[in-house]
Structure 1
Amino acid sequence: MPLNQTKIGWATAAAIVIANMVGTGVFTTLGFQLASLQDMGAILLLWVIGGVVALAGAFTYAEIATRLPKSGGEYHFLSRIYHPFLGYLSGWVSITVGFAAAIALAAMAIGSYVAKFLGWSGSSVAMLSILFVALVHSFDIKQSSRFQNILTGMKVLLVLVLIASGFLLPAAAGSPFDHAQGLSFSWSSITEPIYAVSLVYVIYAFSGWNAAAYLTDEIRQPKKNLPKALLGGTLLVSLLFILLQVAFLRQAPPDLLAGKVEVGQVVAELMYGQTGGRIVSFMIAGLLIAGISAMIWVGSRVTRAMAGDYQMWQYFARDNQTGVPVRAIWLQAGISVFLVTTSSFEQVLLYSGFVLQLFTILTVVGLFVLRRRKIGEENCWRGPLYPWVQFIFLFFNVIVLLFLLIDKPFESLLGMLNLAAGALSFAWEKWRYKPAEVEARTKKEAKSKPVDRFVKTSAKKVNT
């Protein structure tokens, strides 16, 4: 099958970034921050820091992706910069945690929002949500595209409605923006270890800023359009996130939100009443379904890419007759259901946050390696304020990793055990399959591998 040369533009790539960023975290993590922090100014500063760190990451990934212009994200970057072993571990984490944990978290949040209205348990709603979306994506790309586009449109509209309502309605009595209460801030709050752990929740909420870097091959003129997509999408979402948290804090006293996953539902009931709050809760659930859909869609493609490079994953490389990697989709769904049934929301968030941050840190450090070796100098986009942008990213992310190890050793240990399991699977791959066999298979597949129809569908929409 001939390669489709049509590419997507920066606007479509930016939309992918926005769709991946606006998900579970922005509607759920404020409750965990309020459970351990009482300084409202310090909490809002967390969200500003999260936006700055995400932008620093977007600047860095834009340059790395144009220096190493190939789809695959960290899996490709780490393999080229350091060693295929690190790339494999990154791919392993993407398969077992990166997307599966995000799917599980969104499903758990859906359970928190609508289970009590349906009379079901939260875990039952979560599992059914995952299985339903996996089924939707198991037939053809056209159906998947229509499903994703409708839900993503609802997602952005709902965020804008909540922000507008939060600012236009009078501040609730007892909220930090009530005149009698006042917005507090103390520098001592940000020096406490729990502040660094709270930053984990915020950084998780901002995850997805690197989404366009997974699609470098499909972006037209990546040197020009990839930075615009990453930076434009990240900047817009950062602004929306900060405004949404202010809107939440304007409309609800902190004690009503502390420790709650369903923050959006609590605020919606206060703004619109019980019936309106219930409607908004189901709309937020639909938004979270969109997050599950995006992660199952993208994650299954990463799994298929791994399967094309490593013999052990070969079973998941096959598509159905319409070009959908059904086996990879159901692998993602199965891992996500397992996480839903065995872990709490907070454990999954912290566990996935630890290992994902580890690989983004390694990737950002990789830019120093690329610049020193002058790799990709001819056609790359060079980010401004190097190396200070990278130092900002590394400073906050390394602090978070250290405090996670100290304050949440169990979740951190789970993350390291996951890496150990990945290392064992890599060793098994090298021992079980001879390099010559793998090389011959790779060359054979390179000649006959079909193009993902999702790329074709997206490209046609862009040209239309």
Structure 2
Amino acid sequence: MPDMPDSSVAAGPENALPGDRRRPEPGDVGQASGQLSTADAVSLIVGIVVGVSIFKIPGLVFSNVGSPLEGLLVWLAGGLIALAGALCYAELTTTWPRSGGDYEYLTRAWGPWAGFLFAWSHLTAILTGSIGGLAYVFADYACSLAGFEESRAAPLAAVAVVLLTGVNLAGIRFGRMAQNLLTAAKVLGLGGLVAAGFYAARFTELTAEAPVPEGMPGLGLAMVLVLYAYGGWNDAAFVAAEVRDRNRALPRALICSTAAICGLYLLINVAFIAGLGFTELRNSGVPAADLMQSVFGPTGRVAISLLVCISALGGLNGLILAGSRVHAALGEDHRLFAPLGRWRRESSVPAVALLTQSVVSLLLIGLVGTETGRGAIDGAVELLRIPAVEWGRFGGGFDTLIALTAPVFWLFFLMTGCSLVILRWKEPARPRPFRTPLFPFTVLLFCGSCVFMIWSSVDWAGSLAAFGGVQLLIGLVLYLISGQLGRRSA
């Protein structure tokens, strides 16, 4: 990484956005500055990215390819695309090292409306839905381990969100410690999974071949699944203002963690192939559990359930910590959501943003994660005479929510990638401690993958993709109202 001094351009009239209030600088009263190290940022990224997908989707990925080598190349390609994105974000985070990440870049490149809609969509469904989904995965596996009835999953998911929100309200030091502990336990557990696969290895399986089963979408779906498994590497940008020696630490964290995750995913998939065999892996919906049971018996399946719980909690804590900074940035800039921008002086955390994020996540757990909530949604949908939500088609409540919001998620990812080009054109003289290598090819690779994912997610969601459009339309109305409030108070 470039060895350059940590210099940020101070906020002032020449850097202010039209019509915006002054955003607090890192180190302002109430805000944390320099409390996260490079290792903390790496732990945050690994904790968020390596959530629960790696325990479920490898079988489906390999069902859509003709050989183990082809499947491993898909995982490698996904890692290279994520690395291209990380290189783009490394320039953006070091040039504009403020809390909020994508919110800040979209606001500067496209205008305040873009940042507002990004934060609004994350607060109302995308990020809070991911929090609720991970909490629900944790609760499902925890109930299974403890022998609880399935009906207890929703309350347990809510407890997980409340407890980890409380940890982060106590201060970034506590949130950081929890993240490092959970990520370390997760990586150690995954190391054990890889070791089990190599212990039971049949390496001749790596050269096996089999046709893609009739009716399977093929390579396109395999790539979609893999790119989802890499999702979340950009979340370290949300806490950029709180990282020490940002100009060196952030590029290192983004690039090293993305490369490490790619290597870890390849090792895990090689272990699955060698330990289970190519055919058995393709037919497995829970390859990690099947592998551990084949090596250790029923104890192995229990161990995997425990590892999934730890992994889900690690991702959950990371999303709570990082996501709240996006909502805080929204409050700092836009009058309608001003309370979200309040930082707690004693603990240097955006307390109102954390609490609001928690409340929305709990509402989604109640609405999307329970039969009663889904029934209420179905009743409202029928009343409004809009297409019914096909809960079963997408695999459940939170999987459905993710499917409906995916087009908007990837649209903002695309816009952030384009922001790098726009901001180089709009602010060519601004100091850039890190410059994206192989520009513009790196940006084209990243943005091209986003276009592919937008198309794929719209195709998968069908008519229900209109939900994202409604969400953005409501956000646009609120943006206009917020602008009116800002002008009246000016």
Question: 2:102 touches 2:416 (CA, 8 Å); kept in 1?
Answer: yes
Matched residue, 1:154: 185
Question: Which 4+ stretches in 1 moved above 6 angstroms?
Answer: none
Matched residue, 2:20: none
Q: Shift in Å at residue 422 of structure 1?
A: 2.0
Matched residue, 1:184: 209
Unaligned runs of 5+ in 1: 172-176, 440-464
Matched residue, 2:296: 272
Matched residue, 1:60: 88
Alignment of 1:339-350 (within 5 A): 339-341=368-370, 342=374, 344=396, 345-350=398-403
CA distance in structure 2 between the partners assigned to 1:273 and 1:107 by the alignment: 27
Question: 1:63 touches 1:381 (CA, 8 Å); kept in 2?
Answer: yes
Cα distance change, pair 127–53 in 1 and its aligned pair in 2 (3 A): farther
Matched residue, 1:72: 100
Cα distance change, pair 384–99 in 1 and its aligned pair in 2 (3 A): same
Query: 2:47 corresponds to which letter in structure 1?
Result: A
Matched residue, 2:252: 228
Q: Shift in Å at residue 178 of structure 1?
A: 4.9
Question: 2:272 touches 2:281 (CA, 8 Å); kept in 1?
Answer: no
Matched residue, 2:10: none
Q: Shift in Å at residue 389 of structure 1?
A: 1.1
**Secondary structure in 2 matching 1:210:** helix
Question: 1:196 touches 1:399 (CA, 8 Å); kept in 2?
Answer: no
Cα distance change, pair 242–403 in 1 and its aligned pair in 2 (3 A): same
Unaligned runs of 5+ in 2: 1-28, 375-390
Q: Shift in Å at residue 49 of structure 1?
A: 1.6
**1:103-151 per-position Cα deviation (integer Å, ceiling 9, x unaligned):** 2332343355344444445564254124333234325226544433332
**1:272-316 per-position Cα deviation (integer Å, ceiling 9, x unaligned):** 211221122122212212211221222233223323333333454
Alignment of 1:431-442 (within 5 A): 431=484, 433-437=485-489, 439=490
CA distance in structure 2 between the partners assigned to 1:377 and 1:315 by the alignment: 32
Matched residue, 1:447: none
- Aligned counterpart in structure 1 of residue 57 of structure 2, from 6, 29, 32: 29
Alignment of 1:62-461 (within 5 A): 62-120=90-148, 122=150, 124-138=152-166, 140-141=170-171, 143-171=174-202, 178-179=204-205, 182-184=207-209, 195-252=219-276, 262-317=286-341, 324-325=351-352, 327-337=355-365, 338-341=367-370, 342=374, 344=396, 345-375=398-428, 377-431=430-484, 433-437=485-489, 439=490
**Secondary structure in 2 matching 1:99:** helix
Q: Shift in Å at residue 384 of structure 1?
A: 1.3
Matched residue, 1:457: none
CA distance in structure 1 between the partners assigned to 2:149 and 2:227 by the alignment: 29
Matched residue, 2:9: none
CA distance in structure 1 between the partners assigned to 2:472 and 2:238 by the alignment: 21
Q: Shift in Å at residue 235 of structure 1?
A: 0.7
Query: 1:66 corresponds to which letter in structure 2?
Result: T
CA distance in structure 2 between the partners assigned to 1:244 and 1:96 by the alignment: 34
Query: 2:369 corresponds to which letter in structure 1?
Result: V
Taking only aligned residues, the RMSD between alpha carbons, in angstroms, comes to: 3.1
Matched residue, 2:17: none
**1:311-341 per-position Cα deviation (integer Å, ceiling 9, x unaligned):** 3334545567755445224224324413323
CA distance in structure 2 between the partners assigned to 1:126 and 1:286 by the alignment: 18
CA distance in structure 2 between the partners assigned to 1:414 and 1:286 by the alignment: 32
Question: 2:49 touches 2:233 (CA, 8 Å); kept in 1?
Answer: yes
CA distance in structure 2 between the partners assigned to 1:133 and 1:266 by the alignment: 29
CA distance in structure 2 between the partners assigned to 1:260 and 1:285 by the alignment: 20
Moved more, 243-252 or 324-333: 324-333
Q: Shift in Å at residue 222 of structure 1?
A: 2.8
Cα distance change, pair 211–89 in 1 and its aligned pair in 2 (3 A): same
Question: 1:316 touches 1:327 (CA, 8 Å); kept in 2?
Answer: no
**Secondary structure in 2 matching 1:386:** coil
Q: Shift in Å at residue 29 of structure 1?
A: 2.5
Q: Shift in Å at residue 370 of structure 1?
A: 1.9
CA distance in structure 1 between the partners assigned to 2:444 and 2:305 by the alignment: 40
CA distance in structure 2 between the partners assigned to 1:214 and 1:111 by the alignment: 27
Matched residue, 1:442: none
CA distance in structure 1 between the partners assigned to 2:151 and 2:61 by the alignment: 23
Cα distance change, pair 96–249 in 1 and its aligned pair in 2 (3 A): farther
Cα distance change, pair 304–407 in 1 and its aligned pair in 2 (3 A): closer
- Aligned counterpart in structure 2 of residue 10 of structure 1, from 15, 18, 38: 38
Cα distance change, pair 93–5 in 1 and its aligned pair in 2 (3 A): closer
CA distance in structure 2 between the partners assigned to 1:125 and 1:78 by the alignment: 37
Query: 1:279 corresponds to which letter in structure 2?
Result: A
Moved more, 87-96 or 268-277: 268-277
Moved more, 52-61 or 349-358: 349-358
Question: 1:303 touches 1:316 (CA, 8 Å); kept in 2?
Answer: yes
Cα distance change, pair 339–246 in 1 and its aligned pair in 2 (3 A): farther
Query: 1:435 corresponds to which letter in structure 2?
Result: R
Moved more, 348-357 or 30-39: 30-39
Question: 2:59 touches 2:287 (CA, 8 Å); kept in 1?
Answer: yes
